[in-house]
Amino acid sequence: MKVKGLDISISRTKYINKKNRAGLTALHFSAFRGNVKMIKFLVRRGADTFVKDNEGKNVVHASAQSEQVAAIYYFLNNHSINIDEGDKNGSSALHWAAYLHCEISLTYLIAWGAGVNIQDIDGNTPLHLAVLSEGEFPIRCVKILLLKGAARLLRNSENHIPIELVNDNEYRDELMRDLRPPTIWKCFMLSVPLTKMKKEWSTLIYFLIFITFLQFGFVMLVYPLMRGHSRPGIWTVDLFLIVLMIIFYVIATIKDPGYLKEDPSIDFQSLLCSTDPYNICPDCKILRTPRSRHCNICNKCVERFDHHCPYLNNCIGYRNHFWFLLFIISITIILLFHIILLIYNVTSQRENLTAHSWTFMSHLSPQIWLICYSVFFLGSCIIFLPFVGILSFVHLQNFSKNMTTNERYSKNRQNDGDNNSVITKTLSGDLNPSQLQASSQARNSNSVVEESKDSNGNSMRETFIGPSNPSCFGNCVRMIKYKEPSQKKMYDEIIGA
Ligand SMILES: [Zn+2]
Ligand SMILES: [Zn+2]
């Protein structure tokens, strides 16, 4: 391959690794600019990919400092450069990305295996440096590091943990809140803590014990005492509903929610060079679709992501959302059914009681036992009902609007990305106009995913989300018959094939 205008000067290979006063070579500059074509050209003519400047920074450091993830991938993938290699101060590329608040480099380096808790010669981890830096938007970088397992309590050589280094600036309160160790009762996952998490069975097991006790306990304890007082049909209907609920639960739990998979026909290096890095998930090596989101617990992208449900130990995506809806509706119906039945029993049994019924526990009459059980289960059902009732209502609304809980209640992911002027960070801190232009072009290419038209003239939003104002029924059908966007088709749209 020929790069215009450079063949003559670089034909003398002895100059290819020549350093300037700072120890930087042409390859450093190409890496910093993220020009993969130029990098390949220089490497073919003998450029040393392991070269370091006077500060000990290699080409991965240079690329990471300017958010050039395509260049990082090229060096890591083709030249086996150690991702955690430190400069003279022991700072890895991730340290630099954290210090300069380069969110894209930070995310990609972690996805590709950079150590989040490596300490430099001052004992600082990337988290220390993200907090210490006076740069813009530290919160996103701190959150990413914490979610990926950065330790909150590692001390640097001055004996400081990251929270003790928070500056007195506009982000102070939020940073302090994020850097405190999570204190919630994790097993019930009432909120998602900012810490690395894996799929765990504990919450599912607690939930199963609770639901089994609530449903089967009711059937085993209450119905036998009701014999003769209730129709056998009620018992059958109840058991049928419980069996249905179990079936829905099992399907929603074991079904693949719609994990996005890498398309082997797409070259990842070309993908990185063709689009804005925000459009790509570096963990899954796929193009993010308009309705997908990377689940940090499953560590996979889920198409039409709704939420990660700890009670199912599974994500809720387009493949199991309907089964999840059926599951929560069935619980709501069962609870309502039990509440009505229990209220009826308590009131009807009261008339059958006599003073004799309330003697010693061992001699309590069946009516008294029935009332005791009824009051206990009634209390449990009444406590549990609002949670599942509201959940069912929210998800029925989701289906009627053709939206997910994530789309309705979370901040827009694209906006999150646009709020971060990551490309403006350079080695010297100066803005490079051509780089900004390249960034702007790349960002405009986002619109391929967001706004381009398909072959039928429908916008991509219409293809994936549907028209903005259809009927409730139409939306429900769209939710049930949803089709996963093709990675290949999206890639072809981006490269203009
Ligand atoms: Zn992903
Ligand atoms: Zn998940």
pLDDT tens-digit profile of 232-283? Answer: 677 788 888 989 999 999 999 999 999 999 999 999 999 999 999 999 999 9
Q: What is the dihedral of CA 444, 446, 451, 452, to 10 degrees?
A: 90
pLDDT tens-digit profile of 352-380? Answer: 655 555 454 545 666 677 777 777 888 88
Domain at 7-188, CATH class: mainly alpha
Report whether 51 contacts 17 (CB < 8 A).
Answer: yes
Ligand nearest the Cα atom of residue 295: 2
d(CA 481, CA 416): 29
Q: Which pLDDT score is estimated for 55?
A: 93
**AA identity, residue 329:** I
Per cent of the chain over pLDDT 70 is 76
d(CA 464, CA 304): 9
Ligand nearest the Cα atom of residue 198: 2
- Banded model confidence at residue 227, pLDDT cuts 50, 70, 90: low
Ligand nearest the Cα atom of residue 286: 1
Dihedral-angle region of residue 274 (phi above 0 means left; psi in -120 to 50 means alpha; beta otherwise): alpha
Instruction: Kindly tell me if the per-residue pLDDT of 438 is higher than 80.
Output: no
Question: Which has the closest alpha carbon to 66: 21, 35, 24?
Answer: 35
d(CA 301, CA 292): 6
Residue ranges near ligand 1 (ion) with Cβ within 5 Å: 281, 283-284, 294, 301
CA of 416 to the centre of ligand 2 (A): 20
CA of 297 to the centre of ligand 2 (A): 5
d(CA 125, CA 410): 30
CA of 263 to the centre of ligand 1 (A): 13
CA of 331 to the centre of ligand 2 (A): 22
CA of 312 to the centre of ligand 1 (A): 20
Mean pLDDT of 372-400: 88
Instruction: Kindly tell me if the per-residue pLDDT of 1 is higher than 50.
Output: no
Ligand nearest the Cα atom of residue 301: 1
CA of 184 to the centre of ligand 2 (A): 19
Buried b (16+ CB within 10 A) or exposed e, 2-13: eeeeeeeebeee
Ligand nearest the Cα atom of residue 315: 2
Structural domain boundaries in the chain:
7-188, 202-256+319-401, 268-303+409-495
Mean pLDDT of 106-113: 95
CA of 148 to the centre of ligand 2 (A): 15
CA of 115 to the centre of ligand 2 (A): 23
pTM as predicted: 0.78
Q: Which pLDDT score is estimated for 185?
A: 53
What is Dmax (Cα atoms) for the chain?
Answer: 110
Instruction: Kindly tell me if the per-residue pLDDT of 416 is higher than 50.
Output: no
Instruction: Kindly tell me if the per-residue pLDDT of 415 is higher than 60.
Output: no
How far from 333 is each of 136, 237, 342, CA to CA, in Å? 50, 11, 14
pLDDT tens-digit profile of 27-66? Answer: 999 999 999 999 999 999 889 999 999 999 999 999 999 9
CA of 100 to the centre of ligand 1 (A): 24
Classified as helix, coil or strand, 34 is coil
Q: Which pLDDT score is estimated for 353?
A: 54
